Amino acid sequence: MKKGGLFDFSNKIRVVRVILAHLTMLFAVLVLVLFVIDRVNSAMEFMTSPLSRWMIAILAFLALVSSVLSIIALWDNPDKRRRKRRGFGADQ
């Protein structure tokens, strides 16, 4: 298997980021579906139920953690990584 591919589980932080991204997308779609159904039939009260409030809270938490991990990944200097790959070292 190629290193750095889609199914490379050697980098644990990358795996966590991928799982968080997928969970965030899943909860976002779920909240959007509940929102649309609530607009069509407001008597169902999907957006005001306690379960929906928990879904929104989980979505907010996952989005926050996923964003923090993405920002940390962006802090890594790509030029520094590129020089290390070429073998020039970080000081040049």
Domain boundaries, the chain: 12-75
pLDDT above 70 for 54: yes
Handedness of CA 83, 79, 6, 18 (dihedral sign): positive
Residue 50's pLDDT is 92
Q: Are 17 and 66 in contact (CB under 8 A)?
A: yes
pLDDT at 25 over 90: yes
Residue 29: per-residue pLDDT: 95
69-82 average pLDDT score: 75
Greatest C-alpha distance within the chain: 65
Q: What is the DSSP letter of 16?
A: H
Mean pLDDT of the chain: 82
Residue with tokens 């649309």: 36
Would the pLDDT of 7 be above 90? no
The whole-number pLDDT of residue 63 equals 95
